[in-house]
């Protein structure tokens, strides 16, 4: 007798299995596709802006350093906004928070498109980034809601792989729009995408949180209609765990190198190789984005394999840190070496050969960054499953602060210290972060026992 995979199990043998049997495989696929689209929006919000900076500078009669503040502000807003949305998604559920955040993103996109001064631009970029900031933290939490631990790395890899279409496509689309039409057209496009996403969420997204797990479910009926004020910064207390803190630092320092390569690209590769066409500048982002897509997909699957093999080698004992063995390859080798290569090639290699070598470095950097981030995201859900949205938001907030600092100082650093020295500093920072990842891989179980903040057990992974 054959079993239809689209018919949910009526009597799962294990209550733990029943939680993940609520949705059929095809339903899970649709949910992942939906949240991946939502997670793609923040990267289009940020990525489409970068190649437009020279045109915005001219349009608003400003400077690159001032307009780059819009990038830093949006990254900083993402860092704090994801904490807000994550806290409320754990209390009210994933779907209502998606709806509220998408409305905010649409209003911000409309405001950015109609901005006539730098202050207006900065204010509406904050509103836009606040709305878009829910995409990653809630998307990762949804993956944890619907997939078991043995499947979570692969699902996270698919999510991050789809999301990472943003770095590949957003700069190209944004640069093309800025060069041949107007940078404002891209912002109106983001408004249209936000409206479309809002309609899809309203129509097709089910509530994925486990039954009875929402904070509102624990209130009495008379209190459920009242707005509950939550402290979004409460999520940051998960960083008290050395496991989460070290993994966050490792991922954040790796991700900083990606922004250090891409944010000033018009003033590094563009200036060095005499590229001033915004559409061509946008196309330079493609190798990094393709690397992101492949890295997320491969790393997620490899981390599941490492987890399963590690458990088999220990006679069925699961150790979540096995997942992070894959991340070491990206943090120790691919990311810092690509950073050093980009600095050397841009400084010493002329012409088309220099461009080609730099594009190879961008690809390897994108690949390496997601070899770190994808296993790290799945690991955080594994060890703190009941607070998956909060731990995702806390790590994203910390990384966001790091990236905001990086985007603020990278151009001044290059101007004062030179490109090669600046990239060497970024590579050294990544190597420092990789030490923390190696410590967690080797001693993660002891660190969790030393400071237990309510970690998941084998029964709830």
- The helices-and-strands tally (H runs, E runs) of the chain is 19, 0
Structure token digits, residue 22: 């609520």
Q: How far apart are CA 97 and CA 209, in angstroms?
A: 12
CATH of the domain at 283: 1.20.1250.20
Q: How far apart are CA 133 and CA 130, in angstroms?
A: 5
The number of distinct structural domains making up the chain is: 1
How high is the pLDDT of residue 459?
Answer: 53
The sign one gets for the Cα dihedral 123, 126, 130, 135 is positive
Tens digit of pLDDT for each residue in 405-428? 887 788 889 989 999 999 999 999
**Contact assessment for residue 69 and residue 120, using Cβ atoms and an 8 Å cutoff:** no
The sign one gets for the Cα dihedral 115, 121, 126, 131 is positive
Residue 13 belongs to a domain? no
Q: How far apart are CA 74 and CA 84, in angstroms?
A: 15
How high is the pLDDT of residue 8?
Answer: 44
Residue 11 belongs to a domain? no
Residue 261 belongs to a domain? yes
Residue 47 belongs to a domain? yes
Q: Which domain holds residue 311?
A: 22-214+233-450
Q: How far apart are CA 356 and CA 156, in angstroms?
A: 31
Residue 98 belongs to a domain? yes
Q: How far apart are CA 31 and CA 318, in angstroms?
A: 27
Backbone angles phi, psi at 264, to 5 degrees: -95, 20
How high is the pLDDT of residue 457?
Answer: 67
How high is the pLDDT of residue 109?
Answer: 92
pLDDT beneath 70: ranges in the chain: 1-17, 164, 167-168, 220-226, 457-461
Is 192 buried (19+), middle (13-18) or exposed (0-12) by CB count in 10 A? exposed
Residue 226 belongs to a domain? no
How high is the pLDDT of residue 461?
Answer: 54
Q: How far apart are CA 388 and CA 144, in angstroms?
A: 7
Residue 219 belongs to a domain? no
Q: How far apart are CA 17 and CA 305, in angstroms?
A: 20
SS3 397: helix
SS3 136: helix
Tens digit of pLDDT for each residue in 327-369? 999 999 999 999 999 999 999 999 999 999 999 999 999 999 9
Residue 6 belongs to a domain? no
Is 8 buried (19+), middle (13-18) or exposed (0-12) by CB count in 10 A? middle
Whole-angstrom CA distances from 35 to 2, 134, 138, 200 are: 31, 10, 8, 10
Structure token digits, residue 431: 């190597």
How high is the pLDDT of residue 7?
Answer: 44
Based on its alpha-carbon atoms, the radius of gyration of the chain, rounded to whole angstroms, reads 22
**Contact assessment for residue 122 and residue 238, using Cβ atoms and an 8 Å cutoff:** no
Is 53 buried (19+), middle (13-18) or exposed (0-12) by CB count in 10 A? buried
What does pTM read for this prediction?
0.74
**Contact assessment for residue 362 and residue 288, using Cβ atoms and an 8 Å cutoff:** yes
Closest by alpha carbon to 382, among 69, 123, 156, 110? 156
Question: DSSP 3-state helix, strand, coil percentages of the chain (rounded to 5)?
Answer: 80, 0, 20
SS3 46: helix
Closest by alpha carbon to 422, among 414, 431, 430? 414
* Region for 226 from its dihedrals, namely left if φ exceeds 0, alpha if ψ lies in -120 to 50, beta otherwise: beta
How high is the pLDDT of residue 273?
Answer: 93
Q: How far apart are CA 197 and CA 191, in angstroms?
A: 10
**Contact assessment for residue 168 and residue 286, using Cβ atoms and an 8 Å cutoff:** yes
């Amino acid at each position: 007798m054959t079993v239809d995979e689209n018919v949910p199990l009526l009597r799962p043998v294990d209550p733990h299995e029943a939680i993940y049997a609520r949705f059929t495989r095809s339903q899970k696929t649709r949910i992942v596709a939906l949240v991946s689209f939502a997670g793609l929006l923040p990267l289009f919000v940020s990525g489409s802006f970068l190649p437009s900076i020279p045109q915005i500078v001219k349009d608003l009669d400003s400077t690159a350093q001032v307009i780059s503040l819009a990038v830093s502000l949006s990254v900083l807003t993402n860092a704090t906004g994801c904490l807000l949305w994550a806290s409320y998604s754990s209390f009210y559920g994933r779907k209502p928070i998606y709806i509220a955040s998408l409305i905010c993103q649409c209003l911000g996109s409309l405001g950015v498109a109609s901005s006539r001064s730098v202050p207006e631009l900065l204010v509406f970029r904050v509103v836009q980034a606040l709305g878009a900031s829910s995409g990653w933290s809630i998307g990762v939490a949804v993956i944890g809601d619907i997939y078991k631990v043995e499947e979570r790395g692969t699902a996270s890899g698919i999510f991050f792989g789809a999301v990472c279409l943003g770095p590949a496509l957003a700069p190209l689309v944004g640069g093309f729009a800025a060069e041949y039409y107007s940078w404002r057209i891209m912002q109106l496009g983001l408004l249209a995408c936000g409206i479309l996403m809002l309609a899809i969420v309203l129509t097709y997204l089910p509530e994925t949180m486990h039954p009875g797990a929402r904070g509102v479910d624990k209130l009495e009926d008379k209190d459920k209609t009242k707005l509950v004020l939550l402290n979004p910064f409460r999520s940051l207390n998960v960083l008290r765990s050395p496991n989460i803190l070290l993994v966050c630092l490792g991922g954040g320092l790796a991700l900083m190198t990606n922004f250090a390569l891409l944010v000033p690209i018009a003033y590094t590769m563009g200036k060095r190789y005499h590229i001033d066409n915004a559409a061509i500048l946008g196309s330079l982002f493609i190798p990094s984005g393709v690397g992101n897509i492949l890295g997320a997909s491969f790393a997620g699957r490899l981390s599941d394999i490492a987890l399963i093999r590690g458990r088999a080698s220990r006679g069925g004992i699961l150790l979540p840190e096995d997942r992070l063995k894959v991340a070491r390859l990206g943090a120790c080798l691919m990311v810092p070496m690509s950073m050093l290569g980009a600095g050397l090639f841009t400084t010493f290699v002329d012409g088309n050969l220099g461009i080609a070598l730099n594009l190879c470095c961008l690809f390897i950097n994108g690949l390496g960054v997601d070899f770190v981030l994808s296993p790290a995201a799945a690991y955080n859900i594994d060890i703190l499953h009941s607070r998956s949205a909060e731990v995702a938001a806390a790590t994203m907030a910390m990384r966001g602060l790091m990236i905001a600092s990086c985007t603020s100082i990278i151009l001044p650093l290059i101007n004062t210290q030179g490109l090669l020295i600046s990239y060497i500093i970024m590579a050294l920072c990544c190597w420092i972060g990789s030490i923390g990842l190696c410590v967690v891989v080797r001693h993660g179980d002891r660190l969790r026992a030393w400071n237990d903040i309510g970690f998941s057990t084998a029964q709830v992974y």
